[in-house]
Structure 1
Amino acid sequence: MTLDATVRGQVWLPHTPGFDTARSPWNRAVEQPVDAVVEAADADDVAALIRHARATGLTVTTQPNGHGASGRTEGTILLRTRRLDTIEIDPAAHRARIGAGVPSGRLQAAAAPHGLTGLPGSSPIVSVTGVALGGGLSWFGRAHGWVADSVLAFDIVDATGTPRHVTAASDPDLFWALRGGGGDFAVVTALELALHPAPHLYGGRVLWSGEHTPAVIETFRRIAATAPDELTVWLDLLHFPGADPMVAVDTTYLGSAATARELLAPLDALPTPLSDSRRVMAVDELGSITAEPTDPSAGLSHSELLTDLSDTTVAALLASPIAPLLSVQIRHLGGAFTRPSDSPHGPLTEPFALYLFGLAADPAAVLAKQAALAASLPVSGRKAFTFLNPRETVADAFGPEVVDRLRAIKKQHDPSSLFRSNFPVSV
């Protein structure tokens, strides 16, 4: 039976119009070779595809919209799950059930009228499921931990093509692996997750000319040193083509505007900023803070976890201009990230996350700058799974014992390697 006859959703093959667009990842710098693309109509369609793949010896890789692609897709069927987009909110229980294709912004919009929030990252268009499968660093992670820590259950299709409901009680090992170990074990069709109270939110970006960078960094360190878990601050060194360098502090506070202004008062003692977007906001407006692009583009990223932001670290950070990078972002972690977590990542004890990004116009120069800057800073040697780039593997995110456990779970639940995630555990 052909793919067209197997599923009710749309199928693209190499000879059909639109194939190249359908197979393209979000990051256009990543080449993603596949044998076919299937956009499933629903969870039943997913099951039908998996049974077909099992019967014909095919391999399936799953992406809602292509974020986090690594290019390790040769010889696979690319499964798109963006049409699995249902959202059910139970405001009394503080729970949501969402389809695998639901983007973060849509969940936030559904939760906001109830005074609730999920755990969104900086972009509203990234799928909640994709982030949760990689652990997930959220604006509110200091208050509530990894995104994966809020997942209560998974609806999956396993390697036999059988739909299953997976919880900590029903399948403890598989549940553990799915909460941050990636999508190499099953196709997730829906999530059940805890929502968190968010009756008040204050946030925004303050932007200064680059000449004020040392003073801004010192103030950022002062605020981070005493920040309550409800307060998150990120530092951004920015240098866009054709513009002078700039520096920004991005922030959110789960609480009243008055308390937020008090906590962030040191920012007001700095020189007059170029702009200040801080305000009372709804939880579905978080994407406006960093205003990340909502259209696909080509870029190169590199991430690390920093063990400190000492004077020596700051000196290394500022030793030379960040160009040809567009941005150097430092996210304050701590808080609930340091607490016990039943996930492959476990507690996140490093106090800061570093994210380096550049355009792909001159890849060699961007990669060299990223490598040199990372080598000059105090890094822990592990990375957040969702920040892995195509040149890295799961061994860059987890220690050997965790990788071994993930591989054992993979062998148990998918012995024929029918599934291949963006970052396979066997590589």
Structure 2
Amino acid sequence: MNIKDELRGRVLVAGDEGFDLARRPWNLAVEQPVRAVVEAADADDVAALVRYARLTGLTVATQPSGHGASGNTGEVILLRTGRLDELDVRPDERIARAGAGVSWGRVLSAASPYGLTGLAGSSPAVTVTGYTLGGGLSWFGRKHGFAAQSVRAFEVVNADGDRARVTAESDPDLFWALRGGGGDFAVVTATEFALHPAPTLYGGRLLWPAAKAPVVLDVYRQITGTAPEELTVWYELLHFPGAAPMVAVDVTFLGDAGDAETLLRPLEKIGGTLSDSRAVLPVDRLGSITAEPTDPGPGCSRAELLTGLSDEVAAALLERPIEPLLSVQVRHLGGALARPSGTAAGHLEEPFALYLFGIPGADGGAAVRDRMRQITGPLIPHTTGRKPFTFLAPGERAAAAFTPQTLDRLRAIKRARDPRGTFRGNFPVLG
């Protein structure tokens, strides 16, 4: 059986023109060796590939866009689902169906004219499917929970190579696992999910010189202490190459601008702002708040969940400049994220997430990782050891994202549904 004869999509192996580009992950600091790359034309291609892998004893790793790659691929067939790009938004039902290659930016552009939104994160370039399989920490998670909670159905190819529609009624175990348990159980070819009302969205970034970082953090702690679930506020220390260090507060509010401005007025009293981009925004401009890169690039990251923002935590974050890191970000969680979700993503009892990011230099990232350890080391008494699935970094394990009970259930489902190990997620639950 020659797999090239079975597929309409492109198949590339080492030596083929375009192979190295096709296997490249989003994070260019991650080395991703693979046996072959298959760019599926449609869901039938996916099914044919899975049947081929099952017959030949090979393993398939699926990446729509390469986000979240961990470098654990080895001799797998890398399946690209970027061409599964159909999108259907049904505003009357508040439902969207997105193929596995559809990005959040496209969904928000299609939903925004109807005053609706999906539970997108900070980047419009991330695919709905990959993000949702990892739970999906949204700007609007405090109000509506994980993105995985909004899923109504998955269209999948299972380990037998059969296509199926998976819902809470048709296959409760697999449906539960796919909502936040990662890509280890089936290939998802499309996701159907609920949209949420966003008739008015207020958001933007306030920016100050780094000297204001302590007072901004004090005000941030004050605001997050009483914030309604419609309000999400992130605190960020920034140091971009060639620029002076700065401190930012990023914000979204699902409601009227006047109410948001009242809640955020303590920030305006700080004074000395370098810029303030807050405004009423169409939902499709959500990505403009943090303006994250929309093209691949190298990076090193680390995440932790914080039990609070005590004076000790504040001192550790502000002890000295963050260089050579580009950013140290604190995200306010809580709200609906802290309540049981009925998904593999579970819930987050921790009220804040810490995310550190830097670009590796000639030393391969050693200086960046060392600075991350210097920041997170003193924070160990104030972290739980758990990490959001989509924040896992290369070298970390899926076990860090789940409670022991959830991990046990995910592993049991993996063994039952994929006993031959036909699928390998970026962070395998059996790893």
Per the normalisation by structure 1, the TM-score is: 0.99
Structure 2 unaligned residues grouped into runs of 5+: none
What letter matches 1:316 in structure 2? A
SS in 2 for 1:259: helix
Secondary structure, in 3 states, of the residue corresponding to 2:184? coil
Q: Which residue of 2 aligns with 1:262?
A: 262
Separation in 2 of the partners of 1:375 and 1:341? 31
Aligned residue number for residue 50 of structure 1: 50
- The one of 400, 408, 411 equivalent to 1:407 is 411
Instruction: Give the AA of the match of 1:406.
Output: L
Bigger Cα displacement from structure 2, 228-237 vs 394-403: 394-403
User: CA offsets per residue over residues 376-426 of structure 1, 9 Å max, x none?
Assistant: 111111000000001100111112222121111001110000001100111
Conserved? CA contact 2:134–2:345, under 8 Å = no
- Name the counterpart of 2:35: 35
The alignment's C-alpha RMSD in Å is 0.9
- What corresponds to 2:366 in structure 1? 364
Amino acid at match of 2:101: G
**Using the alignment, how far apart are the partners of 1:372 and 1:406 within structure 2?**
34
Aligned partner of 1:381 in structure 2 is 385
Output aligned runs, 1:252-401, within 5 Å. 252-361=252-361, 362=363, 363-377=365-379, 378-401=382-405
Matches within 5 A, 1:237-252: 237-252=237-252
Structure 1 runs (4+) deviating above 4 angstroms are: none
Which residue of the partner structure matches residue 147 of structure 2?
A: 147
Match in the other structure for 1:24: 24
Asked whether the equivalents of residues 212 and 271 of structure 1 are also in contact (C-alpha less than 8 Å), the reply is no
Taking the aligned partners of 1:211 and 1:29, their CA distance within structure 2 comes to 32
Corresponding residue for residue 70 of structure 1: 70
Shift of 1:372: 2.2
Letter in 2 for 1:420: R
Aligned-residue offset at 1:27:
0.2
| CA deviation vs aligned residue, 1:273-322 (integer Å, no higher than 9, x gap) | 11111111111101111111111111100000000001111011111221
Structure 1 segment 108-119 matched on structure 2, within 5 A: 108-119=108-119
Contact 2:90–2:96 (CA under 8 A) maintained in structure 1: yes
- CA offset at residue 369 of structure 1? 1.3
CA distance in 2, matches of 1:242, 1:281: 30
1:60-209 aligned at under 5 Å gives the runs 60-209=60-209
C-alpha distance in structure 1 between counterparts of 2:370 and 2:192, whole Å = 42
Which residue identity lines up with residue 143 of structure 2 in the other structure?
A
CA distance in 1, matches of 2:285, 2:244: 28
Counterpart residue identity of residue 68, structure 1: G
SS in 1 for 2:60: strand
Amino acid at match of 1:38: V
Alpha-carbon contact 2:334-2:348 (below 8 Å) kept: yes
* C-alpha deviation, 1:3, in angstroms: 2.4
Q: How far off is 1:204 after superposition?
A: 0.4
Aligned length: 427
Per-residue displacement from partner, 1:342-374 (whole Å, max 9, x unpaired)?
112312110000000011114111111112211
- Single out whichever of 391-400 and 417-426 deviates more from structure 2: 391-400
1:213 and 1:15 map into 2 onto residues whose CA distance is: 51
Q: Secondary structure at the match of 2:135?
A: coil
Which moves more between the two structures, 20-29 or 50-59?
A: 50-59
Matched-pair contact (CA < 8 Å) for 1:6–1:52: no
